[in-house]
Amino acid sequence: WPFYAPLIFQINALKKEKDAVILAHNYQTPQIYHGVADIVGDSLQLAVEATKVKQSVIVQCGVHFMAETSKLLNPDKTVLIPDSRAGCSLASSITAADVTAMREMYPGVPVVTYVNTSAAVKAVTDVCCTSSNALDIVNAVEGDTVIMIPDQFLAQNTAKKTDKKIITWAGACEVHETFTADDISELRHAYPTAKIIAHPECPPEVIDVVDFSGSTAAMINWVKTERPPRVVMVTECSMSDNVASETTGVDFLRGCNICPHMKRINLENILWSLHTNTEEVIVDPAIIPDARRAVERMIEMSR
Ligand code: 13P
Ligand code: SF4
């Protein structure tokens, strides 16, 4: 922490000077999460908070689709991402043309799109969802069949909890797809008294054998409420780092992967971003209304 203090101090001072707010995802490093973020949360919380921003500049500490969502909800504000190469294997797995082709294949079937997609994909879908409201959104849309894209595992995990038929896409999160039921068995063997919790982007064979599954915010909440003496958070590694300092009496054991995209954001490029007003997130104005509608519909349906 003393090493980071000068950067944290400069960022927080510049933030005020530039009338900027920092929105950070739960996968950001502790120095960002605890040091400079004004708002932290999961994808849904960040989208909801983006609708309430008063400042004229938003610095998104997360990946590109999150910054695009902030821009959709704030087309007249400046939205910055400290490194625009911060992508996502899910967002890059599907294009707007793919969605249009799927619609033609299944006429009339509603399309529920995970927020981990480009604005262009959101613009050709009916409603968005996140890992925290996926089941509610699927149950709320009309009809007994739903196209749920692009995360095959979130879709399969949701399909187990609903009566609706779900048509999936072959996308996956590169951070969560590698976890297996054998990994969980090994963790249980190594730490017999530990609770094991996982994100629903993991394959169903993992979700079936863990003690709890939910969005990043739901996982944090679960740990803070249940206070297990020992816990493994099967997700991105910064999660336990961020919660550990806020949760005494819980021993956090390692069973995580790093998201290289989330890790592109650091204190140095946040400071640079604020200094230079870069890299500005631009969304084609022609697609903003439709993409925004899909996000707003989700927020409305999650209230
Ligand atoms: P949530 O924070 O919405 O659970 O999303 C996890 C994730 O992988 C974001 O990229
Ligand atoms: Fe995408 Fe997975 Fe990284 Fe989240 S953790 S940004 S879903 S690759």
ipTM of predicted complex: 0.98
Q: In terms of domains, do 95 and 121 share one?
A: yes
Question: Is 216 part of any known ligand binding site?
Answer: yes
Q: Tell which one of 81, 149, 152, 173 to mutate to probe ligand 2, the residue whose CB is within 8 A of the most ligand atoms.
A: 173
For 172-270, strand residue ranges (E) read 195-198, 212-213, 230-234, 251-253
Give the pair of three-digit tokens for residue 271: 């400071």
Does residue 216's CB lie within 6 angstroms of at least one atom of ligand 1? yes
User: How many angstroms separate the alpha carbon of residue 232 from the centre of ligand 1?
Assistant: 17
Q: In terms of domains, do 158 and 219 share one?
A: no
Q: In terms of domains, do 18 and 82 share one?
A: yes
Q: In terms of domains, do 69 and 116 share one?
A: no
Do residues 284 and 265 lie in contact, with contact meaning Cβ atoms separated by under 8 Å?
no
Do residues 145 and 167 lie in contact, with contact meaning Cβ atoms separated by under 8 Å?
yes
Ligand 1 nearest atom to the CA of residue 88, by list position: 10
Q: What is the pLDDT of residues 121-158, one digit of tens each?
A: 999 999 999 999 999 999 999 999 999 999 999 999 99
Task: Confirm whether 225 is domain-assigned.
Answer: yes
Atom 3, ligand 1: which residue's CA is nearest?
A: 43
Q: Which domain holds residue 129?
A: 91-173+297-301
Do residues 62 and 28 lie in contact, with contact meaning Cβ atoms separated by under 8 Å?
yes
Q: What is the number of the ligand closest to the CA of 219?
A: 1
Question: Is 200 part of any known ligand binding site?
Answer: yes
- As a whole number, mean pLDDT of residues 203-226 equals 98
Task: Confirm whether 221 is domain-assigned.
Answer: yes
Rounded to whole angstroms, what are the CA distances from 45 to 41, 183, 215, 223, 229? 5, 30, 11, 18, 27
Distance, in Å, from the CA atom of 118 to the CA atom of 128, rounded to the nearest integer, reads 11
Termini Cα distance of the chain = 38
Query: How many domains does the structure of the chain reveal?
Result: 3
What is the radius of gyration, based on Cα positions, of the chain?
A: 19
Q: In terms of domains, do 52 and 96 share one?
A: no
Q: Which one has a higher pLDDT value, 13 or 303? A: 13
Task: Confirm whether 291 is domain-assigned.
Answer: no
Do residues 45 and 217 lie in contact, with contact meaning Cβ atoms separated by under 8 Å?
yes
Question: Is 256 part of any known ligand binding site?
Answer: no
Helix, strand or coil, per DSSP, at residue 217: helix
Q: In terms of domains, do 114 and 60 share one?
A: no
Q: Supply the pLDDT for residue 88.
A: 98
User: How many angstroms separate the alpha carbon of residue 27 from the centre of ligand 1?
Assistant: 8
Residue where the block lists tokens 């959104």:
137
For 126-279, strand residue ranges (E) read 127-129, 145-149, 165-168, 195-198, 212-213, 230-234, 251-253
Atom 9, ligand 1: which residue's CA is nearest?
A: 43
Question: Is 201 part of any known ligand binding site?
Answer: yes
The upper half-sphere exposure of residue 33, i.e. CA atoms within 13 Å in the direction of its Cβ, equals 19
Do residues 61 and 111 lie in contact, with contact meaning Cβ atoms separated by under 8 Å?
no
Q: What is the pLDDT of residues 218-244, one digit of tens each?
A: 999 999 999 999 999 999 999 999 999
Does residue 42's CB lie within 6 angstroms of at least one atom of ligand 1? yes
User: How many angstroms separate the alpha carbon of residue 187 from the centre of ligand 2?
Assistant: 23
Q: In terms of domains, do 211 and 168 share one?
A: no
Q: In terms of domains, do 213 and 141 share one?
A: no
**Amino acid, res. 50:** A
- As a whole number, mean pLDDT of residues 190-199 equals 98
* CATH number of the domain residue 57 falls in: 3.40.50.10800
Question: Is 128 part of any known ligand binding site?
Answer: no
- Output the CA torsion 159→236→229→37 (10° steps): -110
Distance, in Å, from the CA atom of 169 to the CA atom of 97, rounded to the nearest integer, reads 13
Question: Is 129 part of any known ligand binding site?
Answer: no
Q: In terms of domains, do 169 and 208 share one?
A: no
pTM for the complete prediction? 0.98
Task: Confirm whether 28 is domain-assigned.
Answer: yes
Distance, in Å, from the CA atom of 299 to the CA atom of 303, rounded to the nearest integer, reads 7
Question: Is 238 part of any known ligand binding site?
Answer: no
Q: Supply the pLDDT for residue 172.
A: 99
Ligand 2 nearest atom to the CA of residue 27, by list position: 5
Does residue 131's CB lie within 6 angstroms of at least one atom of ligand 1? yes
User: How many angstroms separate the alpha carbon of residue 54 from the centre of ligand 1?
Assistant: 24
Task: Confirm whether 290 is domain-assigned.
Answer: no
Q: Supply the pLDDT for residue 303.
A: 87
Q: Supply the pLDDT for residue 247.
A: 95
Task: Confirm whether 62 is domain-assigned.
Answer: yes
Q: In terms of domains, do 98 and 148 share one?
A: yes
Distance, in Å, from the CA atom of 200 to the CA atom of 52, rounded to the nearest integer, reads 28
User: How many angstroms separate the alpha carbon of residue 114 from the centre of ligand 1?
Assistant: 10
Task: Confirm whether 286 is domain-assigned.
Answer: no
Over the chain, what is the mean pLDDT?
A: 98
Atom 7, ligand 2: which residue's CA is nearest?
A: 173
Give the pair of three-digit tokens for residue 222: 């679960």
Ligand 2 nearest atom to the CA of residue 201, by list position: 7
Task: Confirm whether 281 is domain-assigned.
Answer: no
Helix axes 64-73, 288-301, angle to 10 degrees: 90
Q: What is the pLDDT of residues 64-101, one digit of tens each?
A: 999 999 999 999 999 999 999 999 999 999 999 999 99
Q: Supply the pLDDT for residue 186.
A: 98
Q: Supply the pLDDT for residue 2.
A: 76
Q: In terms of domains, do 187 and 249 share one?
A: yes
